[in-house]
Amino acid sequence: MIHVKTEREIKLMHEAGKLLAACHQEIARLIKPGITTMEIDRFVETFLAKHGAKPEQKGYRGYPYATCASINDEICHGFPRNEPLKSGDIVTIDFVVNLRGALADSAWTYAVGDVSEEVKKLLYVTEQSLYKGIEQAVIGNRIGDIGHAIQTYVEANGFSVVRDFTGHGIGPTIHEEPYIPHFGEKGKGLRLKEGMVITIEPMVNVGAWQSKMDNNGWTARTVDGSYSAQYEHTIAITKNGPLILTTLS
Ligand code: MF3
Ligand code: CO
């Protein structure tokens, strides 16, 4: 079932999203060679508590941490750990803010120290692909239009799009219908309606799109060990077009 949101509900989710964006801005300043993803996880939980919010992922289906922290070939749902990040690494920090019951979800991949030219291109193309998808998130378009725009752009740049994880409706719980693949065909799938709130969160690999699961039952990584990046926003479908809820403004 799809939970369509009222303007008031969207406003509250936007407040959660602004807080999430402010927290990402702080994370961007913290990420350096030597810091651990466990320290970042602690920072996020403390930051949210200070602002009267909760990390919705902690305890969600038994997930043990406030954040997902996926390093290099980890695609998503990496566990925070006590090992320091090093120059040349990339790390995706993904978390969901619950502010007075309103949710927002956003992930960002950060470069640690100096990364290779190929990795810079991966980050650029992945972020751009998110905006290609967002452009399609308008009333009357179909879900396939979003995936098609992302996949076409990513593949034209020589990278691949992960198929095993998708964007999703969000609110009242983290994962709701409709599910939003980051690949697909134009004009196919459900029509987007005013008041839907969805995430778009392309995961893009340098090599093959296939993933494999770690023994912890959560963390997915690339089958060929190639790097994987991800950018995610929460977006409301409105009369005035796509409204990104997870930015500062
Ligand atoms: N933020 C993640 C997403 O984009 C949610 C991960 S669920 C968790 O869908 F349990 F791993 F946290
Ligand atoms: Co999400």
- What is the pLDDT tens value at each position of the chain, 249 positions in all? 999 999 999 999 999 999 999 999 999 999 999 999 999 999 999 999 999 999 999 999 999 999 999 999 999 999 999 999 999 999 999 999 999 999 999 999 999 999 999 999 999 999 999 999 999 999 999 999 999 999 999 999 999 999 999 999 999 999 999 999 999 999 999 999 999 999 999 999 999 999 999 999 999 999 999 999 999 999 999 999 999 999 998
Range of the domain at 78: 7-244
Question: Is the minimum distance from the CB of 61 to ligand 1 under 6 angstroms?
Answer: yes
**95 C-alpha to center of ligand 2: Å?**
8
Residue 249 confidence (pLDDT)? 85
Domain assignment present for 249: no
25 part of a folded domain: yes
Does any ligand 1 atom lie closer than 6 A to the CB of residue 176? no
Ligand closest to Cα of 170 equals 2
DSSP3 helix / strand / coil % (the chain, rounded to 5): 30, 30, 40
214 has binding-site annotation: no
Atom of ligand 1 nearest to the CA of 60: 10
The answer to whether the beta carbons of residues 163 and 209 sit under 8 Å apart is yes
Q: Which atom of ligand 1 is nearest to the CA of 168?
A: 9
Measured from the Cα of 96, ligand 1's closest atom is: 1
Report the CATH number at residue 231.
3.90.230.10
Amino acid at 150: I
Place of tokens 């390093």: 71
Report if residue 2 sits inside a domain: no
Closest CA to 121 of 37, 239, 226, 38: 226
Number of domains the chain is built from = 1
Q: How far does the centroid of ligand 1 lie from the alpha carbon of residue 48, in Å? A: 17
Ligand closest in space to the Cα of 198: 2
Q: Annotation-wise, does 168 bind a ligand? A: yes
- Please tell me whether 175 is known to bind a ligand: yes
Q: Candidates 57, 176, 180, 234: which one to mutate for ligand 1, based on the most atoms within 8 Å of Cβ?
A: 57
Per-residue CA distances from 205 to 107, 149, 156, 181, 226 (Å): 16, 17, 13, 15, 7
Distances (CA, A) of 241 to 24, 143, 152: 24, 15, 22
CA of 186 to the centre of ligand 2 (A): 22
Query: Does the predicted TM-score (pTM) go above 0.85?
Result: yes
Contact indicator for 138, 237 with CB cutoff of 8 Å: yes
Question: Is 77 close to ligand 1, i.e. is its CB under 6 Å away?
Answer: yes
How far apart CA 225 and CA 113 sit, in angstroms, is 20
Residue nearest to atom 4 of ligand 1 (CA): 105
CB-ligand 1 contact for 105 (6 Å cutoff): yes
For residue 154, being part of any structural domain is answered with yes
Would you say 232 and 21 are in contact if contact means Cβ atoms under 8 Å apart? no
Query: Which of ligand 1's atoms lies nearest the C-alpha of 199?
Result: 4
